Amino acid sequence: MIINFLGKLKTFFLFVLFVLTGVYLEKIGFFDYITDPYEYPYILRLLKQHIVMVAVSMFLATITGVVVGIILTRPKFSKYSGIVMYIVGLGQTIPSLAVLALSLSVLGIGFKPAVFALYIYSVLPIARNTLAGILSVPPEIKDAAKGTGFSNMRILFEIEIPYSMSVIITGFRVALVINIGTVALGYLIGAGGLGELIFTGISLMDTKMLLAGAIPTTLLALFGDFLCELASFILVPKGLRTSSKTN
Amino acid sequence: MKNLMKAFLVTAMLCVFISAPAMAAKKVVVGGKNYTEQYILAEMAKQLLEDAGFKVESKTGVGSVVARKSLVNGQIDLYYEYTGTAYTVFYKKKDTEIMTNPDKCYNWVKEADAKKGLVWLEPLNFNNTYTLMMRKEDAKSKNIKTISDLAKYIKENPGEINFGIDSEFYQRPDGFKKLMKTYDFRVGRNDIKLMSIGLTYMALKEKEVSSAMGFSTDGRISSFGFVNLVDNKNFFPVYNPAPVVRKEVLEKYPEIRDVLKPLTEKLTTKEIQKLNALVDIEHKDIKEAVSDWLKANNLI
Amino acid sequence: MNKLLEYILENYNNIISLTWEHIFIVSIAMVFAVIIGVPAGIFITRYEVFAKKVINTANIFMTIPSIALFGIMLPLLSPFNLGLGKVPAIIALVLYSQLPIIRNTYVAIKNVDPAIVDAAKGTGLSRWRLLKEIEAPLAIPVIIAGVRTASVMSIGITAIAAYIGAGGLGVLIDQGINRYYTEMVVTGAIMVSILAIFVDAFMAALERISTPKGVILGRKLEK
């Protein structure tokens, strides 16, 4: 009974919060700002830049990450997996701003250096999860498959990959969320994106501009996260589906 | 237990003795914006005040609006503001007769701010105005010397010229949007790249943009081979920097006025350009560059 | 390379003081994060009802990009003159750290073998003693792992906080970019990275030390 009440209280509270936020945004001219015909195409353009940077870097990172992860599980290369994963682990510890800054000092300013930095930064979670996922396939299943005459290729594509899908998608999801946030920092090395609105808003103390950047970035990250949930639902074979909420 | 009490009392007394001098010291918080010249000016104020026995805390590296708000809110006690900026940005005034005249502009903002409890001390003698820059060879080949020339070129060659400007400059009433109006040209929003202050020089140098906004006393203009386009319509106001202090702080420590006064005579346009170049091109440490300069000029 | 070493030697003092500032911010945030997160984690193991919701909320905070969170807090805290500086940075860090800490605390306590818990209850241990003598020692390594994740993440986010006036090593990166001073940027980037790697290794060692010997033995036997 108390639980029911608390649940309803929470919903009510969220609703009030939502309405208050709307009123606040209206008061500071947020909605006027984003629908202003001079500003509106500019905001959309920054959003597009942002999405392009995310898409390009994630695409390259996924291909590289999955391939590297798979290669490291092949018997020929498995002795390197320890070292590679150690370096990979190290790389993950390096803060995103640092990677962007280093990219700037080597490659200069603009879109390409930013995408390069993002690419490097996003490969790591994907590679690590691919490796872990494939290694976690129970050897008995692989044995059974070999026994029934599966070629190594078939084992990879029909058993190992589907089995590790859930873990790989989690890696992708982690990389994606961090990627979207890091793209916002890309403004600092001249790459544009929604970060332009956020940082300019901070320096001018212009709240509506700041929120015009911060809110879409947040929504983008939440949306990306949600899409990964969906993808997980579609791509992970039914038999292996586990609740990934506490992952 | 008794021993514990003794130890505690001794420690407490020691703490009081140690902090007593600190509590009695004169303390000032100096603010500053986020570009080299501002860091230099803030550092000058800091060293001069420290030499006069003050304890100084710096809170620098913010945008104009934030610096101003911090002063009004009392989070900082003093910072160097430019007359033109105060006139056009904080007071949103546009009288060209006042804003292009150094004395008139200074007196106007001094009077206006006095009503808000902010005191403008002696101004410095250089004008750090915004400028639109282009690469020397580029300007030459396109035959562009003034901003009107640029406007004409843009009208005849739409889409060819793009700009790299600082986000603050874009939005300010003395900024880019207004500039386009005054000089009667229009560039698509896509041809205006916003970036943080220092990057505009880099973007122009790396040929990412055809024209960039800069500060006229910046050391990089000559060393990167840029040229300032002439402001033939006198769009930009005069920007003389002066220390702006909160009234209460000045009343408490009236000596601040005299401590900072010598800079008016000694810090000329040439000197500030040299200092800017020293820091930006030769990468000299700001503290060192400032202290060397102050010592050489017998100010500390 | 020479120029880099030159820069570091000339600005040694500044670099060290910024590093301390950085460490200070992260430390304060971690203390608060643990004070809030661990009890919260324990709470939801007792009252399962809230587990999913609490973890989901924490998850949402962690999905929000850090600079966006700083941005959103700016207007919220400006009326109190706290929009910029260390305070919003520390608040954001505490929020971000909740997910790893709460989740790890929850999972750690939940994973204590129910058989052991039963046996302990059977010998008459009270709830409090159960927590103190059985669940805690077994859960602590996992909780430390959560704090480790949170710490490393916080070091990175603090670098970004330099842009809202919090100080720290991000200042080197920010000023370095504005002044076109590559050596400064690289120094900032490298120092933050070293700090992160060092803290990660240090906490990994803490994890190892805090694992009860019996558990280590058990793992070895399993293999």
pLDDT in tens, C107-165: 888 877 778 778 887 887 777 777 777 777 788 888 898 999 899 999 999 999 988 88
Complex prediction ipTM:
0.81
Residue of chain C minimizing CA distance to A98: C189
Q: Is the minimum CB–CB distance between B65 and chain A shorter than 8 Å?
A: yes
Last residue of a domain, one of B228, B255, B276: B228
Q: Are residues B114 and B144 in the same domain?
A: no
Listed residue (C152, C200, C134) closest to C29, CA to CA: C152
Last residue of a domain, one of B203, B228, B253: B228
Verify whether the Cβ–Cβ distance A101 to C68 is below 8 Å: no
Cα A241 to Cα B3: distance, rounded to the nearest angstrom: 66
Give the model's confidence band at A243: pLDDT under 50 very low, under 70 low, under 90 confident, else very high: very low
Q: Decide: A133 and A163 in contact? Cβ < 8 Å.
A: yes
Q: What is the CATH number of the domain that holds B134?
A: 3.40.190.120
| Residue B31 included in any domain | yes
Across the interface, which of B61, B73, B199 has its CB nearest the CB of C177? B199
| Residue A247 included in any domain | no
Residue B28 pairs in a beta bridge with B56
Q: Decide: A30 and A92 in contact? Cβ < 8 Å.
A: no
| Residue A170 included in any domain | yes
Main-chain dihedrals φ then ψ at residue A25, nearest 5 degrees: -60, -40
Q: Which CATH fold topology does C2-222 show?
A: MetI-like fold (1.10.3720)
Subunits close to A (at least 3 CB pairs below 8 A):
B, C
| Residue A166 included in any domain | yes
Listed residue (B126, B129, B133) closest to B221, CA to CA: B133
Q: How many CB atoms are closer than 10 A to CB A35?
A: 10
Q: Is the minimum CB–CB distance between A98 and chain B shorter than 8 Å?
A: no
Distance from CA of B280 to the nearest CA of C (A): 6
Q: Are residues B134 and B123 in the same domain?
A: no
Q: Are residues A171 and A197 in the same domain?
A: yes
pLDDT in tens, chain B (300 residues): 566 666 666 666 766 665 555 556 789 999 999 888 999 999 999 999 999 999 998 888 888 888 898 898 888 999 999 999 999 888 888 888 898 899 999 999 999 999 999 999 999 999 999 999 999 999 999 999 999 999 999 999 888 899 999 888 887 777 898 899 999 998 887 788 888 877 889 889 888 899 999 998 888 888 888 999 999 988 888 999 999 999 999 999 999 999 999 999 899 888 998 999 998 888 888 888 999 999 999 888
Interface residue of A106, A197, A200, A206 to substitute, partner B, most B CBs within 10 Å: A200
Q: Is the minimum CB–CB distance between A29 and chain B shorter than 8 Å?
A: no
Across the interface, which of B194, B203, B206 has its CB nearest the CB of A196? B194
Q: Are residues B32 and B70 in the same domain?
A: yes
Verify whether the Cβ–Cβ distance B208 to A190 is below 8 Å: yes
Across the interface, which of A42, A108, A190 has its CB nearest the CB of B195? A190
Distance from CA of A232 to the nearest CA of B (A): 38
B73 interaction partners in chain A (CB closer than 8 Å) = none
Verify whether the Cβ–Cβ distance C178 to B197 is below 8 Å: yes
B59 interaction partners in chain C (CB closer than 8 Å) = 165
Q: Is the minimum CB–CB distance between C56 and chain A shorter than 8 Å?
A: yes
Cα A99 to Cα C145: distance, rounded to the nearest angstrom: 24
List the domain range (segments joined by +) for residue A1. 1-30
Cα B153 to Cα B149: distance, rounded to the nearest angstrom: 6
Distance from CA of C132 to the nearest CA of B (A): 30
Verify whether the Cβ–Cβ distance C179 to B75 is below 8 Å: no
C175 interaction partners in chain B (CB closer than 8 Å) = 61
Q: How many CB atoms are closer than 10 A to CB C135?
A: 20
Q: Decide: C97 and C153 in contact? Cβ < 8 Å.
A: yes
* Three-class DSSP category at A70: helix
Q: Decide: A168 and A141 in contact? Cβ < 8 Å.
A: no
Question: What's the total number of domains in chain A?
Answer: 2
Distance from CA of B192 to the nearest CA of A (A): 10
Tokens of B31: 């603010």
Question: What's the total number of domains in chain B?
Answer: 2
Verify whether the Cβ–Cβ distance B199 to C179 is below 8 Å: no
| Residue A245 included in any domain | no
| Residue B273 included in any domain | yes
Q: Are residues B123 and B141 in the same domain?
A: no
A-C contacts (CB, under 8 Å): 131
pLDDT for residue A244: 43
Last residue of a domain, one of B228, B248, B273: B228
Q: Give CB contacts under 8 A, 24+ apart, made by A154-161.
A: A156/A70, A160/A73, A160/A134, A161/A134
Verify whether the Cβ–Cβ distance C179 to B36 is below 8 Å: yes
Q: What is the CATH number of the domain that holds B118?
A: 3.40.190.10
| Residue A246 included in any domain | no
Listed residue (B171, B148, B152) closest to B160, CA to CA: B152
Residue of chain B minimizing CA distance to A46: B190
Residue A160, C-beta contacts closer than 8 angstroms, at least 6 positions apart: A73, A134, A137, A142
Helix axis angle for A111-135 and A96-107, nearest 10°, is 130
Q: Decide: B113 and B244 in contact? Cβ < 8 Å.
A: yes
Q: Are residues B144 and B276 in the same domain?
A: no
Across the interface, which of A38, A45, A109 has its CB nearest the CB of B199? A109
List the domain range (segments joined by +) for residue B51. 26-127+240-296
| Residue B9 included in any domain | no
Asked whether the CA dihedral C190, B66, A206, C57 is positive or negative, the reply is: positive
> Which residue's structure tokens are 């929504």?
A219
Cα A26 to Cα B103: distance, rounded to the nearest angstrom: 42
Q: Is the minimum CB–CB distance between C23 and chain A shorter than 8 Å?
A: no
* Three-class DSSP category at B30: strand
Q: What are A168-193's pLDDT values in tens digits? A: 898 899 899 989 999 999 998 888 88
Q: Decide: C71 and A210 in contact? Cβ < 8 Å.
A: yes
Cα A88 to Cα A132: distance, rounded to the nearest angstrom: 13
The DSSP letter of residue A236 is S
pLDDT for residue B256: 93
| Residue A46 included in any domain | yes
Across the interface, which of B171, B203, B206 has its CB nearest the CB of A204? B171
Verify whether the Cβ–Cβ distance A203 to B194 is below 8 Å: no
pLDDT for residue B7: 64
Across the interface, which of C49, C71, C170 has its CB nearest the CB of A214? C71
pLDDT for residue A247: 41
Residue B282, C-beta contacts closer than 8 angstroms, at least 6 positions apart: none
Verify whether the Cβ–Cβ distance B279 to C179 is below 8 Å: yes
Verify whether the Cβ–Cβ distance B202 to C81 is below 8 Å: no
Verify whether the Cβ–Cβ distance C200 to A102 is below 8 Å: no
pLDDT for residue C220: 72
Cα A193 to Cα A57: distance, rounded to the nearest angstrom: 14
Q: Could you say which residues of chain C have pLDDT below 50? A: none
Q: Are residues A57 and A127 in the same domain?
A: yes
Subunits close to B (at least 3 CB pairs below 8 A):
A, C
Distance from CA of A217 to the nearest CA of B (A): 18
pLDDT for residue B17: 60
